[in-house]
Copies of this chain bind each other. A is one copy, B any other.
Amino acid sequence: MGDRSLRSNDLLGRAGNFFEPKSVAVIGASSNPSKVGHAILRNILDSGYKGRVFPVNPHSKEILGVKAQASVSEIPVPVDLCVIVIPARAVPGVLDECGSLGVPFCVVISAGFKETGFEGLKLEREIIEIARKHGMRVLGPNCLGFINTNLPINASFSRIMPPTGKVGMISQSGAICTSLIDWARSSSCGFSKLISLGNSCDLTESDFVEMLAVDKDTRVISLYVEGVVDGRRFMEALSFAAEKKPVIVYKSGKTLAGAKAASSHTGSLAGSQAAYQAACERSGAIMVDSLAELFDLSRAFALMDPPKGNKIAILTNAGGPGIITADACEKAGLYLAGLERKTINRLKQVLPPAAGLHNPVDVLGDAGAQRYTEALEALVSDEGVDALLLILTPQAMTDAVGTARGVVNVFSSTDKPIICSFMGRDSLSEAVNVLQNGGVLNIDYPDHAADILGGMYARTVLTKRPVSVPPRYSVDFERVRAVILQCIEKGMTQLDLESCVEILGAYGVPTAAYHLSESAEEAVEFAEAIGYPVAMKIVSPQVLHKTDIGGVVLDISSSEKVEQTFEQLISRTRRHMPDAEILGVAVQKMVPRGREIIVGMTRDPQFGPLLMVGFGGIYVEAFKDTSFRIAPVSFTEAASMLRELKAFSLLEGIRGEKRADIESVEDVVLRVSQLACDHPEILEMDINPLMVYNAGDGCVCVDVRMTIGR
């Protein structure tokens, strides 16, 4: 009945236990072939499972030739796994019975839980409590079950068993599982484990990511998720797994993200997709954008190690597809390898005079198997080639099967990835079978094959990253704490500029000298003290975007103008927003124009503080040129955030401009990162613009908005 000492929260040690039960009970097994309880039992029996199987059904003596038990307690041996397929309302009772008997794992197939509304949610909470009480772990409810092709066992109601292979698949959608199995069977993609998560009431995607991370039969972990149960834990699990093997994540549900209302630029630009992207980036997982990519990239990693570098050789028997593939390589961040002299000499020997000796190498339309294979061997031996794309079009003299055999031979004796694109289906099916049986990946379209190779190279880049170590600055934590508490006490949610400036100052973020004036006289006094020119801004908790109502006036250079502007700003605000509470007018040292950057933070409900940098001022929403990371970030991450911006060259200095003080921006990002982590009460923040000056001259925060809450 499993090793009870392992029934802790540490699931890693028991990966074998969940996936490798020695005995299984199917509670709700049925002799009616149209029932799921029948399908599950049949699938377990048909899958070649070698442990003991116990159908449980009080109304049957025997199902599918196996003696049935009236209840789980009547089973004569300890049960490692119960698969439960009974009406939802009966599940808690049976689960409690299983728990009392010390069953370590249950899979609840039954639907009718939180997906159906409030009553179902109550029922689901009940089963969570029962599981916790007994220290029993539960997959589901409302799931397809799981498959372990290695044991083997098909503990799911998928009619078909996938081929054995190296892909460990975790899916929040059972239907995606069945479709993947169906595709897999006709493309010789194989799975090690396949888990349908259902409602994830207890065991979650993170648990299974960790289990598959240490599963020796799994070479690549593939996830389909619509959302995750615990974002921070998910990142931990992904990081743990990505240390060991490629992890691919497909997150759907993007359109829903648009519905999120946010008051900050950062919040409105973030959306959950950016947060997932940042979470994957930090964890070293690869995020894909389509089902085809999820499937094909999984197959690729199951069959091959990623390339060491991004220098690709293309081998083709036709010019057109070669050009298409070269285009696609460039788009995918790959380069065509320049071939070594000795490779070109070798190609000269094996190819006819009209052949293309330079990459893409064209063996010509009349190439037979031998010519193709010899050219492939020459390219594989080239030390400047990291990976190969072999394209075959079905022409008159083409020996597709022979070529496939040649490719399989070469593939088995190299550690460089080779992806084929035998372009056709009707006349090439036998050849494609030869490739697939030989463990060689074939992708219908050569441009898509280049994308897949690009995805594999992304893994190479991820594995070469330095370890992330966020810095800790010496800051005035207590002062910020005090300011925040004070504001919370006053019932504020939107901080006033004065408090924002104080908070940033305490964390070493440079800000422009600032004073909130309640009268024109006060404004003049401060302006005279700091010197002209000054900027003046209306201060009101209701006015979030000041420029929208003309609430900002720049370059004021005399006391008369300060006085005039004060009255102007007040009257403009009264006109545009009669109900706005006006706290006064901020007078600020006019800072010289620089390159405008935005540094922001929002809290993702799943992943916590999400940092953003982008080009600021009026450009931020127009160009949406932004980059996200989850706090805390390291020096390297802060640096790469900036370098991911499309317009990063503007900071490096183009057209005669000097290089901007990039390091000072990185410093601000790191300090904001620490601020966000230290003070969870800060919910959202926009530093916009952060004026950035030439290298050595630093930067200064000109305006800032913060939202607080608990």
Q: Which residues of B lie under 8 Å from residue A253 when comparing CB positions?
A: 323, 327
Q: Does A116 contact B (CB under 8 A)?
A: yes
Nearest-CB distance from A661 to chain B (Å)?
Answer: 17
Q: Which residues of B lie under 8 Å from residue A548 when comparing CB positions?
A: 655-656
Q: Which residues of B lie under 8 Å from residue A186 when comparing CB positions?
A: 425-426, 429
Contact B323 A182 (CB under 8 A): no
A424's partner among B183, B326, B547, B618 (CB-CB below 8 A) is B183
Q: Does A393 contact B (CB under 8 A)?
A: yes
Per-residue contact bits, chain A 532-547, to B (CB 8 Å; 1 contact, 0 not): 0000000000000111
Q: Does A563 contact B (CB under 8 A)?
A: no
Q: Does A3 contact B (CB under 8 A)?
A: no
Q: Which residues of B lie under 8 Å from residue A394 when comparing CB positions?
A: 159, 178-179, 182
Q: Does A395 contact B (CB under 8 A)?
A: yes
Q: Which residues of B lie under 8 Å from residue A224 when comparing CB positions?
A: 320
Contact A182 B423 (CB under 8 A): yes
Bound complex: CA A321 to CA B619 (Å): 36
Q: Does A226 contact B (CB under 8 A)?
A: yes
A330's partner among B255, B649, B657 (CB-CB below 8 A) is B255
Q: Does A561 contact B (CB under 8 A)?
A: no
Per-residue contact bits, chain A 227-251, to B (CB 8 Å; 1 contact, 0 not): 0000000000000000000000000
Contact A623 B625 (CB under 8 A): yes
Closest to A621 in B: B654
Nearest-CB distance from A681 to chain B (Å)?
Answer: 28
Nearest-CB distance from A617 to chain B (Å)?
Answer: 9
Q: Which residues of chain A (616-649) have a CB below 8 Å from chain B?
A: 618-619, 621-625, 646-647, 649
Contact A173 B320 (CB under 8 A): yes
Q: Does A261 contact B (CB under 8 A)?
A: no
Q: Does A408 contact B (CB under 8 A)?
A: no
Q: Does A36 contact B (CB under 8 A)?
A: yes
Nearest-CB distance from A585 to chain B (Å)?
Answer: 17
Bound complex: CA A157 to CA B253 (Å): 48
Q: Which residues of chain A (161-177) have a CB below 8 Å from chain B?
A: 171-176
Q: Does A685 contact B (CB under 8 A)?
A: no
Nearest-CB distance from A57 to chain B (Å)?
Answer: 18
A657's partner among B159, B365, B425, B618 (CB-CB below 8 A) is B618
Q: Which residues of B lie under 8 Å from residue A36 when comparing CB positions?
A: 396
Closest to A653 in B: B618
Contact A656 B175 (CB under 8 A): no
Contact A175 B646 (CB under 8 A): no
Q: Does A437 contact B (CB under 8 A)?
A: no
Contact A320 B226 (CB under 8 A): yes
Closest to A157 in B: B396
A-B contact pairs, 25 of them (CB 8 A): A34-B397, A39-B396, A157-B396, A159-B394, A172-B320, A173-B319, A174-B318, A175-B365, A175-B395, A175-B423, A178-B424, A179-B393, A182-B425, A182-B427, A183-B423, A183-B424, A183-B425, A186-B429, A224-B320, A291-B445, A545-B655, A548-B655, A550-B656, A619-B647, A623-B646
Which chain A residues have a beta carbon within 8 Å of chain B's beta carbons?
34, 36, 39, 116, 157, 159-160, 171-176, 178-179, 181-187, 224, 226, 252-255, 290-292, 317-321, 323-324, 326-328, 330, 354, 365, 393-397, 423-429, 444-448, 545-551, 618-619, 621-625, 646-647, 649-650, 654-657
